[in-house]
């Protein structure tokens, strides 16, 4: 049996600076000893989105302090850890450089191995940290920069079944909010406004619904929102609420069709699994309406539905540390200190390059 192992994780791929210490017990169970996240929301809200230069500078200013806090909360000095894990991509290149260079420096100074982690792999493996989920399973990654349906066969073994052919879902939420004069970040703002709206007032399109392929498209839906809003100007608060509710309803129906077809394919390819599972990850996974839609869909299809806690759906370092632990425990080699950050780094290296393929946007 592999002895217990602990790793420091560092995440700086976008606009959260994060550090965490995660322990993998000898029996394979994961335990988060600390998970410190500093949001840069205030720094970017005035611009309606993430400004890469501001984000990178904020990481430089905060990261050392956050690492010290993570080690202190965990009660684990750096010398007691087994390795260092840092996000190496995909993401904003300035932020990635800050985190990865810090990880390299700590690894060199402490003599610990370094794992340069794919941010998307962190999301893909989080359900194994929180729920002890066995391979294989299906993952829906929905965020500002990604909308992908991925088969997770094992550590480092991923197959992309579907991706967005235009906008990521989180980007569509953010652009809808901006169009309607709602604050940044757009996802939570649209969800709040939709609570008092009529989801049936506007018959918005549901892109690609009915098609056999498992890709996504949200550009046309975004355009339809703009047309509805323009026709009503000036908008009342109720108009905004109704548009948000109709937009959210169209998204939920679209996901129900797309993911439903994905569940059918998974059943066909893995008929021996008694309890197949769908995992949802990424910032948009915090949306309660979308979660409820997917939960209901899975219940009807006989799938287990897993949505990690919200703090582990958005960017965090615990998932990066856990991905490093998964690689360490599997016996995969650590990275050399000349490893470079990658602004684009798809999980499925063999998949056809499309928009949304390993892309990083405003949030993930």
CB distance 35 to 14 below 8 Å = no
Residue whose C-alpha is closest to residue 284's, from 166, 192, 364, 193:
364
pLDDT score for 358: 43
List of the chain residues with pLDDT < 50? 356-364
Under 8 Å CB-to-CB from 182, ≥6 apart: which residues? 189, 190, 193, 240, 244
DSSP state of 234: S
pLDDT the model gives residue 354: 60
pLDDT digits (tens, 9 = 90+) for 175-207: 999 999 999 889 999 999 999 999 999 999 999
Q: What is the pLDDT of residue 1?
A: 62
Whole-model pTM: value is 0.93
Q: Which residue is listed with tokens 């840069």?
A: 40
Q: Is 167 helix (H, G, I), strand (E, B) or coil?
A: coil
Burial class (CB in 10 A: 0-12, 13-18, 19+), 249: buried
List phi, psi (to 5°) of 203.
-90, 85
Q: Report pLDDT digits (tens) over 243-292.
A: 999 999 999 999 999 999 999 999 999 999 999 999 999 888 889 999 99
- Same CATH fold assignment for domains 5-131+311-330 and 137-310: yes
pLDDT of residue 362: 37
pLDDT at 353: 65
Residue range 137-310 forms a domain whose CATH class is: alpha beta
Report pLDDT for 363: 40
Give me the residues paired with residue 6 across strands: 23
Strand 157-163: give its sheet, edge to edge.
157-163, 147-154, 137-142, 277-281, 304-306
**Do 336 and 164 meet the contact criterion of CB atoms below 8 Å apart?**
no
Residues 24, 67, 17, 310, Cα dihedral to 10°: 40
Where exactly are the structural domains of the chain?
5-131+311-330, 137-310
CB atoms inside a 10 Å sphere around CB 165: 17
Give pLDDT, residue 140: 97
Domain 5-131+311-330 matching CATH 3.30.420.40: the answer reads yes
């Amino acid at each position: 049996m592999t002895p217990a192992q602990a790793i420091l994780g560092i995440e700086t791929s976008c606009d959260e600076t994060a550090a965490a210490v995660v322990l993998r017990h000898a029996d394979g169970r994961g335990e988060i000893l600390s998970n410190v996240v500093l949001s840069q929301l205030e720094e970017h809200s005035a611009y309606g989105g993430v400004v890469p230069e501001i984000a990178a500078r904020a990481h430089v200013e905060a990261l050392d302090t956050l690492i010290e806090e993570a080690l202190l909360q965990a009660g684990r000095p750096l010398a007691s850890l087994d390795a260092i894990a840092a996000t190496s991509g995909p993401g904003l290149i300035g932020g990635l450089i800050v985190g990865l260079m810090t990880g390299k420096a700590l690894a060199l100074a402490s003599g610990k191995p370094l794992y340069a982690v794919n941010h998307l792999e962190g999301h893909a493996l989080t359900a194994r940290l929180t729920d002890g989920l066995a391979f294989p399973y299906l993952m829906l990654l929905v965020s500002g920069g990604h909308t992908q349906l991925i088969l997770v066969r094992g550590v480092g073994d991923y197959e992309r079944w579907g991706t967005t052919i235009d906008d990521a879902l989180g980007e569509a939420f953010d652009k809808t909010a901006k169009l309607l004069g709602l604050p940044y970040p757009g996802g939570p703002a649209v969800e709040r406004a939709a609570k008092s709206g009529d989801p049936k007032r506007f018959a918005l399109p549901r892109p690609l619904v009915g098609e056999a392929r498992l890709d996504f498209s949200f550009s046309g839906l975004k355009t339809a929102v703009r047309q509805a809003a323009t026709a009503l100007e000036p908008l009342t608060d109720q108009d905004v609420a109704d548009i948000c509710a109709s937009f959210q309803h169209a998204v939920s129906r679209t996901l129900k069709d797309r993911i439903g077809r994905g569940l059918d394919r998974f059943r066909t390819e893995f008929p021996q699994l008694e309890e197949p599972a769908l995992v949802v990850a990424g910032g948009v996974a915090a949306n309660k309406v979308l979660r409820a839609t997917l939960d209901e869909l899975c219940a009807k299809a006989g799938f287990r539905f897993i949505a990690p806690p919200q703090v582990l759906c958005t960017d965090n370092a615990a998932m990066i540390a856990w991905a490093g632990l998964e690689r360490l425990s599997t016996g995969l080699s650590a990275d050399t200190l000349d490893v470079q950050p990658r602004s684009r780094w798809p999980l499925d290296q063999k998949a056809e390059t499309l928009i949304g393929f390993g892309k990083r946007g405003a949030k993930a």
